[in-house]
């Protein structure tokens, strides 16, 4: 396994990435958490077998580790699921020394992280992401939370895990559409921070699409490294740096909400959102046609959408998009903060971009 550190003083933690096999989870777990009471694995119902393996590897030391399954899908990031898990924790007699292990994609990581932050005023947890999206983004950095039907991620807490364990072999069974969706966040890191990485994605697109283990480990490692650096500098998103990770997300979250959660996978909405942001950057003269074209081409290469599907275009009026974007938490005093690129490898925060330019940038993605 390759290991990185998220450097946050006493809340620092390791991210292990690779193709481990055997009992290596157990030793990494006890290195990160030498003492605990009950360990509880909460997993996405679709990765039961993998979660069983994680629980089994802890059984010899932690007694029989209970597993709680959560139905797949964004709709599980709800108060109802949280309530159900709180009650299960009570039934299992979980206490302050209990540890939660989240096995699944971003939904599970966000839900279980929030569960950990609220149980007994906060217990330790470990992230075991099994989707590419969760490996490169949501499992790292401590953002946890649930959705309201009207708005995504508006209820939540910063709660850092004690370890992130990334076994890239869990991607082997990930449906193709979900794998590609994760690649949107990988492309994002290239656009916002690292042109050389973006170039490698262009050059190695075939091995990445074939899920070659070496190529996948490399893109996951670099994405985590870039994210770990940003999080270490600006854990609570108060200094302006962490906000760059939201590139395409203000547009993307509005797309997810208007299309109704579940129509688009997160990465699909984000690739359309990054295209809208790229259109806007071009209209404002902030980056070049060539840069936008490179971004669009890479999305296409990875089978990611850059246009709203015509079958649902009717739901996307400019007014509805703008209202939803203002509702998104990345506004401050009602003023829209957008992350826009200046070139591949660099972005800036733009406050109060002209509304007509934003509307045109949205329109260009609605056929
Ligand atoms: N996904 C954005 C962040 O973690 O800040």
Question: Which tokens sit at 141?
Answer: 């950095």
User: Which residues lie below 8 Å from residue 276, measured CB to CB, with a gap of 6+?
Assistant: 248, 251, 361, 362, 364, 365
Q: Are 338 and 349 in contact (CB under 8 A)?
A: yes
Q: What is the DSSP letter of 310?
A: G
pLDDT of residue 211: 96
pLDDT of residue 224: 98
Residue 89 exposed, middle or buried by CB count within 10 Å (0-12, 13-18, 19+) = buried
pLDDT of residue 283: 98
Residue 243 alpha carbon, nearest atom of ligand 1: 5
pLDDT of residue 62: 73
User: What would the pLDDT profile of 200-242 be if each residue is shown by its tens digit?
Assistant: 999 999 999 999 999 999 999 999 999 999 999 999 999 999 9
Q: How far is CA 164 from CA 72, 106, 244, in A?
A: 20, 13, 22
* Adjacency order of strands within the sheet including 99-104: 2-6, 13-18, 163-167, 124-129, 99-104, 39-44, 67-70
Task: For domain 2-173, say whether CATH 3.40.50.12280 is its number.
Answer: no
**Ligand 1 binding pocket, CB closer than 6 Å:** 137, 141, 143, 242, 245
pLDDT of residue 348: 97
pLDDT of residue 314: 86
Q: What is the CA radius of gyration of the chain?
A: 20
Residue 246 alpha carbon, nearest atom of ligand 1: 2
pLDDT of residue 59: 85
pLDDT of residue 38: 94
Q: What is the rounded distance in angstroms from the CA atom of residue 59 to the CA atom of residue 54?
A: 9
Q: What is the rounded distance in angstroms from the CA atom of residue 73 to the CA atom of residue 80?
A: 14
pLDDT of residue 151: 74
Q: Is 87 a catalytic residue?
A: no
Q: Is 266 a catalytic residue?
A: yes
- Residue whose Cα lies nearest atom 2 of ligand 1: it is 245
Give the global pTM.
0.94
Buried b (16+ CB within 10 A) or exposed e, 36-58: bebbbbbbbebbeebbeebbebb
Half-sphere exposure of 105 (CA within 13 A, CB side): 23
The domain spans of the chain are 2-173, 176-363
How many beta carbons lie within 10 A of that of residue 352, not counting itself? Answer: 10
Domain spanning 176-363: which CATH class is it, in words? mainly alpha
Low-confidence stretches of the chain (pLDDT beneath 50): none
Buried b (16+ CB within 10 A) or exposed e, 316-333: beeeebbebbebbebeee
What is the SS3 assignment for 142?
Answer: coil
pLDDT of residue 149: 81
Q: Is 152 a catalytic residue?
A: no
Q: What is the rounded distance in angstroms from the CA atom of residue 44 to the CA atom of residue 307?
A: 30
Measured in angstroms, how far is the CA atom of residue 143 from the centroid of ligand 1? 7
Q: What is the rounded distance in angstroms from the CA atom of residue 364 to the CA atom of residue 352?
A: 20
């Amino acid at each position: 396994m390759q290991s990185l550190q998220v450097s946050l003083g006493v809340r620092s933690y390791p991210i292990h990435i690779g193709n481990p096999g055997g009992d290596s989870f157990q030793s990494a777990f006890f290195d990160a958490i030498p003492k605990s009471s009950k360990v509880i694995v909460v997993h996405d119902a679709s990765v039961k077998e993998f979660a069983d393996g994680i629980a089994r590897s802890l059984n010899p030391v932690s007694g029989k580790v209970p597993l709680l399954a959560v139905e797949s899908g964004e709709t599980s990031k709800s108060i109802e699921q949280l309530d159900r898990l709180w009650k299960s924790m009570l039934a299992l007699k979980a206490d302050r020394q209990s540890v939660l292990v989240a096995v699944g994609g971003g939904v599970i990581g966000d839900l279980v992280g929030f569960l950990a932050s609220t149980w007994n005023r906060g217990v330790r947890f470990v992230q075991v992401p099994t989707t590419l999206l969760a490996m490169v983004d949501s499992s790292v950095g401590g953002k946890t939370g649930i959705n309201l039907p009207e708005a995504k991620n508006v209820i939540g807490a910063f709660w850092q895990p004690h370890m992130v364990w990334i076994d890239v072999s869990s991607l082997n069974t990930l449906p193709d559409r979900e794998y590609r969706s994760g690649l949107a966040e990988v492309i994002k890191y290239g656009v916002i921070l690292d042109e050389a990485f973006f170039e490698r994605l262009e050059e190695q697109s075939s091995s990445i699409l074939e899920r070659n283990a070496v190529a996948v480990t490399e893109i996951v490692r670099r994405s985590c490294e870039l994210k770990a650096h940003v999080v270490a500098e600006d854990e609570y998103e108060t200094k302006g740096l962490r906000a760059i990770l939201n590139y395409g997300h203000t547009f993307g979250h509005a797309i997810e909400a208007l299309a109704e959660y579940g129509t688009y996978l997160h990465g699909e909405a984000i690739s359309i959102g990054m295209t809208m942001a790229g259109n806007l950057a071009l209209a404002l003269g902030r980056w070049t046609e060539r840069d936008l074209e490179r971004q669009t081409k890479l999305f296409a290469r990875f089978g990611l959408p850059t246009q709203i599907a015509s079958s649902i275009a009717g739901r996307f009026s400019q007014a509805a998009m703008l209202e939803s974007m203002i509702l998104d938490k990345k506004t401050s005093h009602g003023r829209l903060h957008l992350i826009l690129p200046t070139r591949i490898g660099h972005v800036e925060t733009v406050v109060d971009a002209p509304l007509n330019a934003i509307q045109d940038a949205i329109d260009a993605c609605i056929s």
